[in-house]
Structure 1
C-alpha cells in the first residue's frame, strides 16, 4: 500500500459500497476526472462546409492515431481494447454520418456529436456486450469533439503525488496507460464487474471499486480508503482502519509470490489455472504460477473480423498457445457469440432481449459450420504437441445441447469435451448433462446474472451481482454434487475464483479446479494453503446457510479468522 499526502480528517468515517476489483486495499487522496466537454452548439456554422469537413476528418484521424499510440504503449488486453476503439473512430458509416451533418450546416464538433448520438442509442439497446461499449463510444466522441475545437483531450489528471482516481466511468484509453506510480486505485460511479474498467484493473493489478454510486459526492482532496476485498470505499477512514488495511495489504502482496501446485493445508489438490484471452497472455500466466489454462476465450479471433477466420488461420494461433503451454492442460471455450456479440458472418437478427437470445451454443447450432471449422482447427493444432486439450461449449442449458456438442467434438477428433454451467437450468441438470459431457466448468459471472435476474452491465444493480449470494452458492453446490457422483471434473472459471476466501468456499462445495486472472493466483494459492479441506467444507456450509451475500461473506470471514 503506497503512501499519500496526510489529509486532516474533518468529517466522520463514511462507507460507500460498490463492486470491488482486486484484493489489496489502498489509501490516498481523491483526484477526479474532468467532466467531458458539453454538447456543442447546434447553431449553424459560420465556416464553409469544406473547412468543417476537413476539421472533422482530421479530428477523427487524430483520435484514431492517438489510440493506436496508446495501444502500442499498453500491450496485452489493453492494446486489443484500444485498437478496437481506433477502428470505431475510423468507421466508414460514422464518417458518412458526420459528412451529412456538415452538409446540413453543422460545425465539425456538432456533426461529430450528432453522428455519435445515433450510434450510442443503437449500442445501448443492442444487448449486454455492446451496451458495455457505450462508454467507449462516448470517450471517442469526447476526444474527437475536443480535437475539432482545438482543445486538449479529456484524460487523467497529472499530479506530483499518489492519488485515487475517481470518475463517473473510465474509458480504456484512460485505464490502459495509467501511471501506476501515481494512480494507486480507481473508483467509478458507474460500471459493473465486466466493464472495461474492471477488466483492465484486474489485468494491471490496480485495486478498483466500480458501480460505487456514492462516489459521485467525493471531491478532490478527500482522503479515502479503497478496500475492494470488502467492497467498500471509506471516506475519512479512522487511523486504526488504515493501519489494519496496510497490514492486510502487506500480507496479500507477500503471498503474491507463492508458487507450486494448489492444495489445501492437508494436501487436497486444487488445480490453480489461468483465464487468458489470446497467445500474448500465456507467458504472464505461466510466470504467475498457473498450472494450466482453465479458460481460453477464443472471441479474439472473431470479434473484429468481417469474415470467419479460416481453419488454417485458427490452427496457427492455437498451435502457438499449445506449444507455449507444453504439457499443461488448456480448456478452450469455443466461440461465445450471438445477439449480444454480433458478428457480420453470424447473423441472428434483432432480438428484444439479447441476453436471453440466440447466443452461445444456440448460435453455434444455428451456424454449425462455424463450430465445425473451429473444432477442426483446435484438433489440428493439438496434433504434435504434448498439451492436454479440452474443449467446452458456452451457455448450455439442457442435456440435449451438451450431447450435440460432445458429438461434434468427437467427430473432429477431440476426446475431452465438456460444457459451461452458466444458467440455472444447467446447474440443476448437471447430473443429466454429465451423461455425455466429460466435465463441467462454472461460469459464475453469468450464473449470478441469470440466477439473480440482474444485468451484469448495470451499475445500479452491481450490489446484487455478488458471487457470495447463497442462491448462487447453492446452485454451485448442486452442480458439484452431481459431478462428484458422476466421478467427473468440475471447475470454476468465473472471477469468483480470484477471491481467496471465496475460493476456499468453492473448494468446500466440491469444486476441483479454480481458474482466474493470473494476478490473483498467488494470493489464492497462499490462502488455500492455510485451511484444511474440512475447514473449507465448514466455511461452505456457513455461506450456503446465510440469508444474503453480505451475511455469507461476514460469517465466513469470522470463521476463517477463528481457524
Structure 2
C-alpha cells in the first residue's frame, strides 16, 4: 500500500502524470458524494408522476451542463464547452429516457430507475475500448447529478476557498474540471481515471498539473500540504520549501528543454522514429499539429458513426477523412476502420445478440465481415479522400486474430484502391503468429491497451486489477518483441498506438524492441521526442533487453531506467 499521511514526512505517492507542471498547496477534497439509491426502491403507484420527475431532472442536468459550457467558453475554454455539450446530449439521449421509463413502469422509484438505466449504458462504454471507456466518468457524473436532484441532495462540486489549494477526488467530472480556476486550483489529483479521460484532456488544455490513478489519494487528510508533479506523476506529502523550490526550478528547466526539442522523432544517433498522434476526428488536429505530430498513427473513425440512426454517407465520410489527410501533406495518416460491435451498438446495424463478455465478442473486423457493405463504403470513402493528396494513407483493421482475417482485409482494401492495408495487433494470437500475418499486410500497429488486457485476462476498467494492466509487464514486452521481429524480417513497419507509446521511458524501450513508429495523445509528444533525442539506439536496445529479463513490471521499469540515464534531465 502506498504511504499516506501520518506515516512520516516527505513520503511519495505515485500515479499517472497526465498534465505537466508543479503545484503545491493544502489538500481540499471534492465535496458531496451521491449515495446509491436503495436497491429495489419502489414508487407509490403513480408511474406517470415518477417518469415526469425523472425527465425533468435529466433536462435540468442537461441545461445546467450547457450553462456551465457557456461559462467555460467565456473563460476561453472552448474544449470544456465541447465536452459539456457532449454530456448534455448524453443526458437527453432518447434511448436513455426510454430505459428509465421502462424501469419506472416495472415499479422502480425514479432515482433507482435512473441509477439502473445508466448502469446499462455504463457497462457498454466500459467494455468499448480505451477511448470510449474513458467516458464512463462522464456518464457517472450525469447519473449522480440526476439522482441528487431526485433525492433532494446537494450536487457534487469543487470546494470553495479563498486561498490556492490542491483538489483531490476519487474522480473529477468534466462539469467541475472545465470551470476550475487555475489561480485557485494549483493542481489536482484523482484516485481513478486515466490519460484519455476528459478530466485529463481538460487539465492539459487548461495547463493545470494533474496526476490520476493515484492509489490512496482519498486517504490524504484535508489540509495536508502536498507537492504535485504532473509530469513525473508524483505527489510528495508535507514537502519542505526547499523541495518545492527545487521542483519548480526543475519543471522550468524541463519546459525549456522541451521547447528546444523540435523536429522529427529520432534517437540521439539519428535513428528515425516517426512520432504520430492518436485522434478521434478533425477536431483533434489543432492539438496534434501544435505538439509537433508528424502524422496520425491512429484515427478512430467510430466517432463518425456513433449516435446516428443511419450510416454516414460516402460524401460525409470522405470530407472527414480528407480534412485529416490535408493536415499532413508530408506525413502519414493511419486510419482504423470502424471498431464496432455488441459493446459499441450502432442503430443502423442489428445487434449480434446477447453477449456475456462483449470485449471478447463480435467486434472490430469480426463485425465488418458480418456487414461487408459497411466496410466497403468506408474503404471507398477513404480511397476517394486520399485521391490527389500527397499524404500517405494507411488503413488498418481492429481485432485481427489470424492470417486468414488479415488476408481478407488486405484484399478488401486493395479492391477499393487502398495500397497500404495493415492490422492492429491486439489479440495475443496475432502477436504469437506475427510471421504469418506479416505476409498478408503492409504494416502492424500494436494496441498495447487491449493487448495487455487480453494477455493478462484483466478487464482494464476494474481498478482492483490495475497491476495486471501495466504495459511494463515483461510478458507484454515479449509480445511486442515477438511482433516487431517478424515485421522487420518481412520488411514491414511495426508501430505502437496504445498509450504505452506516450510513456517516455517505455517509448525508448519500445524502440529498442524494434518498434518503428510511436503514436500517442498529442500532449505526450514533446516529452517522448526529448527522451528519444537523449539516448542512442543501442541504449534503447540495452534498456529493452534489461526490461525483458526482469520478473515484474516494477523491476522492468527500474532496469530500463538504469540504461537510460538522461531521463533525469527531463525530471523523469
**Equivalent residue number for residue 138 of structure 1:** 140
Residue 35 (structure 1) aligned with residue 32 (structure 2) = yes
Residue 360 (structure 1) aligned with residue 329 (structure 2) = no
Q: Does the aligned pair in 2 maintain the 1:19–1:462 contact within 8 Å?
A: no
In 2, distance between residues paired with 1:384 and 1:229?
41
Query: Are residues 330 and 299 of structure 1, via their aligned partners in 2, closer, same or farther at CA, if it must alter by over 3 Å?
Result: same
Residue 288 (structure 1) aligned with residue 291 (structure 2) = yes
**Equivalent residue number for residue 458 of structure 1:** 462
Q: CA deviation at 1:195?
A: 4.7
Q: CA deviation at 1:128?
A: 1.3
Residue 212 (structure 1) aligned with residue 210 (structure 2) = no
**Equivalent residue number for residue 254 of structure 2:** 252
Aligned residues: 551
Q: Does the aligned pair in 2 maintain the 1:116–1:137 contact within 8 Å?
A: no
SS in 2 for 1:318: helix
More deviation, 244-253/401-410: 244-253
**Equivalent residue number for residue 115 of structure 1:** 113
Q: CA deviation at 1:12?
A: 3.0
In 1, distance between residues paired with 2:303 and 2:25?
36
**Equivalent residue number for residue 160 of structure 1:** 162
Question: Once superposed, what is the RMSD of the aligned Cα atoms?
Answer: 3.2
Q: CA deviation at 1:212?
A: 3.1
Q: CA deviation at 1:54?
A: 5.7
In 2, distance between residues paired with 1:206 and 1:552?
30
Q: Where in structure 1 are there 5+ consecutive unaligned residues?
A: 1-7
**Equivalent residue number for residue 5 of structure 1:** none
Q: Where in structure 2 are there 5+ consecutive unaligned residues?
A: 568-572
**Equivalent residue number for residue 271 of structure 2:** 268
Q: CA deviation at 1:507?
A: 1.1
**Equivalent residue number for residue 18 of structure 2:** 21
In 2, distance between residues paired with 1:423 and 1:12?
45
In 1, distance between residues paired with 2:427 and 2:411?
22
In 2, distance between residues paired with 1:141 and 1:317?
32
Q: Does the aligned pair in 2 maintain the 1:15–1:235 contact within 8 Å?
A: yes
Residue 309 (structure 1) aligned with residue 334 (structure 2) = no
In 2, distance between residues paired with 1:557 and 1:20?
17
**Equivalent residue number for residue 9 of structure 2:** 12
Q: CA deviation at 1:469?
A: 1.4
Q: CA deviation at 1:29?
A: 2.2
In 1, distance between residues paired with 2:525 and 2:561?
20
Query: Are residues 419 and 69 of structure 1, via their aligned partners in 2, closer, same or farther at CA, if it must alter by over 3 Å?
Result: farther
Q: Does the aligned pair in 2 maintain the 1:195–1:457 contact within 8 Å?
A: no
Q: Does the aligned pair in 2 maintain the 1:194–1:457 contact within 8 Å?
A: no
Q: Does the aligned pair in 1 maintain the 2:114–2:147 contact within 8 Å?
A: no
More deviation, 147-156/394-403: 147-156
In 2, distance between residues paired with 1:159 and 1:10?
28
SS in 2 for 1:542: helix
The two structures have a TM-score, normalised by structure 2, of 0.87
Q: CA deviation at 1:40?
A: 6.6
In 1, distance between residues paired with 2:408 and 2:99?
44
In 2, distance between residues paired with 1:539 and 1:11?
34
Q: Does the aligned pair in 2 maintain the 1:261–1:271 contact within 8 Å?
A: yes
Match of 1:423 among 423, 427, 439: 427
Q: CA deviation at 1:403?
A: 0.8
Q: Does the aligned pair in 2 maintain the 1:211–1:460 contact within 8 Å?
A: no
SS in 1 for 2:442: coil
Q: Does the aligned pair in 1 maintain the 2:543–2:562 contact within 8 Å?
A: no
More deviation, 140-149/364-373: 140-149
Q: Does the aligned pair in 2 maintain the 1:193–1:462 contact within 8 Å?
A: no
SS in 2 for 1:314: helix
For 1:48-127, what aligned pairs fall within 5 Å after superposition? 56-71=54-69, 73=72, 81-95=83-97, 111=110, 113-126=111-124
**Equivalent residue number for residue 400 of structure 1:** 404
Query: Are residues 266 and 39 of structure 1, via their aligned partners in 2, closer, same or farther at CA, if it must alter by over 3 Å?
Result: closer
Query: Are residues 495 and 162 of structure 1, via their aligned partners in 2, closer, same or farther at CA, if it must alter by over 3 Å?
Result: farther
SS in 2 for 1:462: helix
In 2, distance between residues paired with 1:238 and 1:461?
35
Q: Does the aligned pair in 2 maintain the 1:167–1:187 contact within 8 Å?
A: yes
Q: Does the aligned pair in 2 maintain the 1:256–1:520 contact within 8 Å?
A: no
**Equivalent residue number for residue 389 of structure 1:** 393
Query: Are residues 442 and 243 of structure 1, via their aligned partners in 2, closer, same or farther at CA, if it must alter by over 3 Å?
Result: farther
Residue 553 (structure 1) aligned with residue 552 (structure 2) = no
Q: Does the aligned pair in 2 maintain the 1:225–1:242 contact within 8 Å?
A: yes
**Equivalent residue number for residue 224 of structure 1:** 226
